[in-house]
Amino acid sequence: MKAFEATQLYFDRAAARLELSDNMRKLLLTPKREVQVQIPVEMDDGRLETFIGYRVQHDDSRGPMKGGLRYHHDVDLDEVRALAALMTWKTAVVDLPYGGAKGGIAIDPRKLSLKELERITRKFIDQIHDVIGPDTDIPAPDMGTGSREMAWMRNQWEKYHGFNPAVFTGKPVELYGAEGREEATGRGVGILAYKLLGHLGRKPQNTKVALQGFGNVGSHAAKFLYESEYKVVAVSDHTAAYYNPDGIDISKLLKFTLSNKGLLAGFNEAERISGDELLELPVDLLIPAALGGVITAKNATRIKAPLIIEAANAPVDPEADQILHERGVTLLPDILANAGGVTVSYFEWVQNRQFYKWGLNRVRQELDRVLSQAFESVWHEAKIQECSLRTAAYIIAIRRVQTATLLSGHG
């Protein structure tokens, strides 16, 4: 199933309970603007290559649009459109004053030199600088991008529009970035895991976790969970997957990856397994933190974990979601589970606009407060509606976006 069709299905399940009119459904599902650009760039060997970049702005009824920029070879318009819509529901479910957007370039950053990557990044901003801005659309990191790319992008954007660090979030701390943004998504996953377990009467010490993806989100989630005494028994990236039923020493693993270009392959304190096997391990909690569409109707019946936290965007497709729900699996959906990142992006934007810097403790405390409040409201809605946590999260989000749309009128 295509990515946008999948997000539409999740939307429809909640919209039916809200008895949304056909007109309102159409209005809320239609992206406001879709930008696709050609990025011609001279490579190090003198060849000219053309890449394709996207920015989809889904909805701005609750505020400026917000969402990451992804660098990955699978990026296409359908995926970006789906991810932009997810951002609208995500910012609404945690009640940030934003709408949703997403973008990216279809490239494999690992295959490019640093100079090529910087040239592509700057050329991309040359093409989209006039549709983004601190009051309209504020990009941030996603898969394949981080603070380095945000610094280049801000520098390029300011060549056209002048000084304004609030145009991008997830910047280096030394260049108006927020303390705690880098860890925020993974830390948020950890905070929400703790809340979920608490509501189910389970203890971290008795919880075996398998984690797919060990990039920004996966590695910070692993660190937080390990420090909170969960037993992280399996981890993977695209180079390798490892399993140790007695628990992996995550502090050792983090040290190992530091000296191994951030990659897992070569770690020898756990058994090597396949990436597919990791998803089907007998664990208590499964956390997909890499790509979308990794749990489908094909493998959903073989998933043994009774709990799933979607740290990645859209890792479970709607058919699999239905199968898991019928099997009694409790699933915390992406639009809440990984909202820690955009929440601290919001704190960064607020600090940039006020020229005032918060300390790490304040960021962490506020993150905990925002996510805990959102979790409680989703949990409560699911009880009232007798529905899954995903449908409950969508109900809250759609209700907020619908209200803002109606209050603004149609002028």
Binding site for ligand AKG (CB under 6 A): 66-68, 90, 140, 142, 169-170, 313, 338, 341-342, 345
* Cβ contact 214:264 at 8 Å: yes
Choose between 1 and 263: whose C-beta lies nearer to ligand NDP: 263
Q: Which does 216 bind (CB under 5 to 8 A by kind): ligand AKG, ligand NDP, none?
A: ligand NDP
Residue closest to 334 by CA, chosen among 321, 346, 323: 321
- For ligand NDP (CB under 6 A), the number of binding residues is 26
Catalytic one of 2, 26, 32, 102: 102
Tokens of 278: 């990791």
Residue closest to 75 by CA, chosen among 29, 40, 19, 37: 37
Tokens of 380: 């409560």
338 is in an annotated binding site: no
Q: Which does 217 bind (CB under 5 to 8 A by kind): ligand AKG, ligand NDP, none?
A: ligand NDP
Among 127, 164, 239, 260, binds ligand NDP (CB under 6 A): 239
Site string for ligand NDP, 300-339 (x = CB under 6 A): -----------xxx------------------------x-
DSSP state of 410: -
First vs last C-alpha separation in the chain: 36
Q: Which does 100 bind (CB under 5 to 8 A by kind): ligand AKG, ligand NDP, none?
A: none
228 is in an annotated binding site: no
Say how many CA atoms lie within 13 Å of 321 toward its Cβ.
Answer: 23
Residue-level length of the chain: 411
Say how far apart CA 172 and CA 162 lie, in whole Å: 19
Say how far apart CA 41 and CA 186 lie, in whole Å: 34
* 32 in catalytic set: no
Binding flag, residue 213, ligand NDP (CB under 6 A): yes
Backbone angles phi, psi at 348, to 5 degrees: -65, -45
Choose between 15 and 278: whose C-beta lies nearer to ligand NDP: 278
388 is in an annotated binding site: no
Tokens of 245: 């039923």
Minimum CB distance to ligand NDP, residue 186 (Å)? 8
Residue ranges in 19-58 that form contacts with ligand NDP under rule CB under 6 A: none
261 is in an annotated binding site: no
* Strand ranges across the sheet with 99-105: 33-42, 48-59, 99-105, 65-71, 137-141
Minimum CB distance to ligand AKG, residue 205 (Å)? 30
Residue ranges in 60-119 that form contacts with ligand NDP under rule CB under 6 A: none
SS3 372: helix
185 is in an annotated binding site: yes
Tokens of 232: 């992280």
* Cβ contact 191:370 at 8 Å: no
List residues forming the annotated binding site for substrate.
Answer: 66, 90, 345
Q: Which residues bind ligand NDP (CB under 6 A)?
A: 141-144, 185, 212-218, 236-239, 263, 275, 289-291, 311-313, 338, 341
List residues forming the annotated binding site for NAD(+).
Answer: 185, 216
Residues taking part in catalysis: 102
